[in-house]
Amino acid sequence: MASDPQRGQRGTSGSSGSGSGGAADRGGAPEERKPASDEAHSAFTPPLGVPYPPAPEEEHPTSEFALPAGLRPETPAEQEGSAFTPPSSTTGQHPMPAGATAMGAAFTPPHGIPVVRLTKEAPWQDRMRTMLRMPVGERPVPERPERDDEETGPAVPRVLDLTLRIGEILLAGGEGAEDVEAAMFGVAHAYGLERVEPTVTFTLLSISYQPSLVDDPVTASRTVRRRGVDYNRLSAVFRLVDDIASEGITLEEAYRGLAEIRRNRHPYPSWALTLASGLLSGAASMLVGGQELVFVAAAVGSMLGDRLAWLASGRGLPEFYQFVVAAMPPAAVGVAFGLAHASIQASAVITGGLFALIPGRALVAGVHDGLTGYYITAAARLLEVGYLIVGIVVGVLSVLYIGLQLNPELRRLNPEQALQAYNEPVVQIIAAMLLALAFCVLLQQERNTVAFATLNGGVAWVVYGTLVYRAEINVVPATAIAAGLVGLFGQLLSRYRYASALPYVTAAIGPLLPGSATYFGLLNFAQGHLAQGLPSLVQAASLALAIAVGVNLGAEVARLFLRAPGIEEAAAGRRAAKRTRGF
């Protein structure tokens, strides 16, 4: 074949020789011509007598995809983006055009990018929950208010630090994990950090920010060391987040606002909290049939327990032992009346003391986290509730056991008889509202929320009493329905005032707490009647879960049917996990 260089050279030499001989025979001068040593002929070399094709006009050959002559390319409507090019709004240094059309193709979902309008027409909780449940690549770019630092953008570490500090206050105050993440996402998003992922667990907060697909992420975390109940501070933080997300305050103004929140003192002093604890126990004793003397006895026992708990806290004892010592004085007062054969209901005294100790706030938060998919935080919260309840059980059982050893015939310590015999709607409604009012003080709520929470507690007891005493419905579904209305009203009030729903909900569920069922089970355990005590404790747990599920369901109903304007285009609402179907 001619493609072999050696064979090509031999064939060419032979032809040259013949050609030379022919020229000599025709009388031409003989000429011996040999190709140069580095000269090689290819199979693509045209034969003799065939002219070479014309050279191309351009140096580079054209492609089959080249545009034909005479046609001009169309001017693109907008510059195409690359998957490795971050959008111009990632760092918050360039303003975005209306409609978020400056995003690159890598960040555009197949169905297009909806517009989320971050204005006061919708609560920031709803806006941030909608975007938080979206994948990072599908989150729309919102329209932000103009800022003074728009040219340079705030420093990323300072924004992350502010976000974590706000999340720490919310988580320490008992806010649900979903609302904490929504607040953190709203703060970071308002300052231009769009590709952020906040993560909340029971004691750890973390947030990760990635400027683009090719840049290394920046991650910061913060640990919640102490938890305390102060709904006044919680409401102030919610207002600060709303100002950041909607009003466009600068980073320095946000830091100053957060410092003022931390410096603010509690709205109620410690002696007011002690009096509120006594009022709560006295009002709870009236719910189960207590009279004036029972009210005073329950109040005194609860105030003694509160002071002992403060003393244990000052000595550095864990919260478990604080609940143990707080549960002893109310039980001791009730046992003392039983041993003295006084003509008062000693069981109502102990039951009232238990109302002030049952951790309803932590229970509702734990169940809420579980229902919204934050299982790690929910498990930790429920485990905390279990430890606190065990502390109450240890304190009450210790006193009851001593009392039964002194007098085994303590028949007055039976709350079931009092609950069956007592049905005074007016007295119980007043007691329920007093109980909710006392809870508001213990939770350090703002004074402008106390009236709403107190009224909500009265409505809850009216619904519960109507279903149980008039309609004769079982106490568990009746409790769930009443708690659902509490959650619905609380969510409506929070949406109307752009605040947290906890101040309107937590105190209002106080009259529904299973204090009597818990005490009745503990009493049977102390007497050695395990078969009778176990159903009562199961009923108490069922009532507690009914309260938590009802509150969460009421809040979800408010979000489902009262969708805020401006977020329907973004998504059909908060995205939830799909059912696993057993695998």
Q: What is the pLDDT of residues 265-321, one digit of tens each?
A: 788 888 899 999 999 999 998 888 778 888 999 999 999 999 999 999 888 889 999
DSSP track, 198-218: EEE-SSEEEEEE-SSSSSPPE
Task: Tell whether the model's pLDDT for residue 81 goes beyond 90.
Answer: no
3-state secondary structure of 90: coil
Tokens of 580: 């696993």
List Cβ neighbours of 119 (8 Å cut-off, separation of 6 or more): 143, 246, 566
Task: Tell whether the model's pLDDT for residue 108 goes beyond 60.
Answer: no
- Roughly what angle, to the nearest 10 degrees, separates helices 530-561 and 475-497? 30
pLDDT recorded at residue 326? 93
Task: Tell whether the model's pLDDT for residue 101 goes beyond 60.
Answer: no
Q: Cα 77 to chain center, whole Å?
A: 40
Sheet holding 204-209, edge to edge: 196-200, 204-209, 218-223
Task: Tell whether the model's pLDDT for residue 6 goes beyond 80.
Answer: no
Task: Tell whether the model's pLDDT for residue 236 goes beyond 80.
Answer: yes
Does the pTM exceed 0.75?
Answer: no
Q: What is the DSSP-derived secondary structure letter of residue 105?
A: G
**Residue 30 binned pLDDT confidence (cut-offs 50, 70, 90):** very low
3-state secondary structure of 149: coil
Task: Tell whether the model's pLDDT for residue 19 goes beyond 60.
Answer: no
Task: Calculate Rg over the CA atoms of the chain.
Answer: 39
CB atoms within 10 A of CB 138: 16
Rounded to an integer, what distance in angstroms lies between the CA atom of residue 202 and that of residue 206? 12
